[in-house]
Amino acid sequence: MLANSLQILKALQYSNGLFAAARKDVKTGYNRAWIRDNVYSVLGFEAVGNFEEVKKTLHALLDILKKHEYKIDWMIKQPLPKHSYRYIHARYDPITNEEIHEQWGNKQNDSIGALLFKIGDLERRGINIIRDEDKNIIQKLVDYLQAIEYWHDKDNGMWEENEEVHASSIGACVAGLKKIKDIVNVPQELIEKGEEALNNLLPRESLTKEVDLALLSLIYPYNIITEEQREQILKNVEEQLLRERGVIRYKGDRYYYFNGEAEWTFGLAWLSIIYKQINNVTKQKFFLEKTLRCVNIFGELPELYFANTSKHNDNFPLAWAQSLMIVAMA
């Protein structure tokens, strides 16, 4: 099943290294490439030691940012006003590397933190990601986070919804800055402001959301919170968001809402990975088995199941979900 999942994930990758969010012929827009989704999509290849695929994707993301470097320069030099179109775009055409010009939750600071984190993480482990021509754009990403004052910047978050300060976005940026600080210039104050804001907000995700699936990212892959914070987040997620075929993103989620909040399959794989990380074998296996029961007849893990049903939506396989399942199995 692991080999089959790797083949499924590979089929979602374009020749330049970018991943479609779901299959390439889907009509929902998930044939496009998101920065965050691509970072999470390479975790599966990383888990099995296929670092060439990881490098290919991360290089493709850096190349996109270089193409739109003028926007980054503009924000660094003139942070105000914070119009959404001025932010680094989160989603691109995977063939042309052009921004997708639609009005939706484009301010996604966590995507930049995620990219910095994974590059810095691999570099620290001796996996050379940064090419000579990459260092300048990486430094500009740090300067960009400073310019927008990420620690109290209202963004659309992991779910691309209403603008507010999100713990998962702050945490991603803190994790990225910590991992990259030995490679480019990162003022210590920039990290400390994020840590203070994060600790003031936790265990909440935001002012409007007490519990949110996105908070799991602070445990894996970022691992930047205390044991006490981790246990509280896990308790809240399992008691309030866990369902039979997935984890709802938060209470009251209206995305694919049919008689209840949609059940996101990758939440199960995410929990399995976390329990593997903290050496709880019983719960690791429990959540892995629940994950494997969610695949369709082809071994594909869909984005979500409609509440309390065995019917999933059209976004299958979801690259991010397939990747996390691979990490959980590896």
**Domain CATH code at residue 43:** 1.50.10.10
Q: What is the pLDDT of residue 104?
A: 78
Q: What is the pLDDT of residue 102?
A: 80
Q: What is the pLDDT of residue 246?
A: 98
Rounded to whole angstroms, the Cα distance separating 64 from 305 reads 32
Number of C-alpha atoms within 13 angstroms, CB side, residue 92? 26
> What integer is the mean pLDDT of 221-225?
98
Structure tokens at 67: 């193409």
pLDDT tens digits, one per residue of 269-316: 999 999 999 999 999 999 999 999 999 999 999 999 999 999 999 999
Q: Total structural domains in the chain?
A: 1
Q: In terms of residue numbers, what domain contains 13?
A: 2-329
pLDDT tens digits, one per residue of 156-194: 999 999 999 999 999 999 999 999 999 999 999 999 999
Contact 151, 191 (CB under 8 A): no
The pTM score is 0.98
Q: What is the pLDDT of residue 201?
A: 98
Q: In the predicted model, is pLDDT for residue 210 greater than 90?
A: yes
Residues 6+ apart with CB under 8 A from 222: 117, 171, 172, 174, 175
CA-angle at 146, arms to 196 and 118, nearest 5°: 80
Rounded to whole angstroms, the Cα distance separating 246 from 266 reads 7
The dihedral through the CA atoms of 319, 251, 234, 154 has a sign that is positive
